[in-house]
Each structure stands twice: as structure tokens, then as C-alpha cells.
Structure 1
Amino acid sequence: MTTSQNVGTHHFILTLQMTTGSGFCMATFSNDITPLPGRTRAQVYAGLREEIARSNPRLADANTVFFALERNQL
């Protein structure tokens, strides 16, 4: 396995769910990021939700089903 030098310091997974006319819609987002120094887990979560809402306005009011933010280094 090889790694890139441009890998973020943290990895997140965020799953959202919303109702649709005939049921539910779920979306999972996963990526590596490097939070700004001093940021809290709550601030990173809020920033991710804002970015997702900006990119996918229908998900702005979706419910969070799962959120994880961990250091990327094993």
C-alpha cells in the first residue's frame, strides 16, 4: 500500500438521512481533512454540515445518522 504526501491529518465519515416523498434518502460522505489548529470536533462537524448544505441544498435539513472524526495516522 502506498500513501500520498498530501493526506489530511484526520479522516471523517458523515452519514445523513432525509425523508423524501416516498421514503428516505441517505448519503455518506468520507474524506481526509486537516482541521485548522485549535478547532474542536463540534466545529469540524458544523463546518462539514455547512459545506455539504452548500453543495447539496436538499441535505441542509437532513438528520445525522453517523459522524466520526479520527486522527488519520494508525
Structure 2
Amino acid sequence: MPENSGQPTHHYVLTLQVPNGRGLDVVTFSAAVTPPQGWTRQQFYKSLYVELTSKYDYLKDANTLFWTLESNQL
């Protein structure tokens, strides 16, 4: 197989849950990304969580149900 230079190095899945007044909303985000060099998984998670909960007001106090960050290469 050809080398995938220029492709994102990692893939993440983040599932959040937040009360909506009638029950719970659950939302999942996923993408292929290249984290900043030298970052830890925890740093990337915290940055992503803050970015998403700031961008979408209704997720302000969301709880994490699932989180993974893995190599994008098979």
C-alpha cells in the first residue's frame, strides 16, 4: 500500500451527555486529526472538550460517556 503522508495521524471519538430538561441528550463527535507534537492524550482531550463545550452552549456542563484517541493508521 502507498504511504499516507499528509494524512491525519490520529482518530478520536468523544461522546458527551447533558441534561436537556426532559431527559438527556447524547452527542458523539469524531474526526481524523493531527494533535500538536508533544501533546499527551489528556491534553488533547481537555482541549477538545473545552473547544466543543464552548462552541455549543447546550453542552456547557456535559459529562463524558466515551473517549478514545488512537492511531489513524491501520
Query: What TM-score bracket applies, with the shorter chain setting the length?
Result: 0.7 to 0.9
Could you tell me which residue of structure 2 aligns to residue 25 of structure 1? 25
Task: Describe the SS at the equivalent of 2:53.
Answer: helix
Q: How many aligned residue pairs are there? A: 71
Task: Describe the SS at the equivalent of 2:42.
Answer: helix
Unaligned regions of 5+ residues in structure 2, if any? none
Question: Is residue 66 of structure 2 the alignment partner of residue 66 of structure 1?
Answer: yes
- TM-score using structure 2 length: 0.88
Task: Describe the SS at the equivalent of 1:13.
Answer: strand
Unaligned regions of 5+ residues in structure 1, if any? none
User: Deviation above 2 Å: which 4+ runs of structure 1?
Assistant: 4-7
Question: Is residue 17 of structure 2 the alignment partner of residue 46 of structure 1?
Answer: no
- TM-score using structure 1 length: 0.88
Task: Describe the SS at the equivalent of 2:68.
Answer: strand
RMSD value, Cα: 1.4
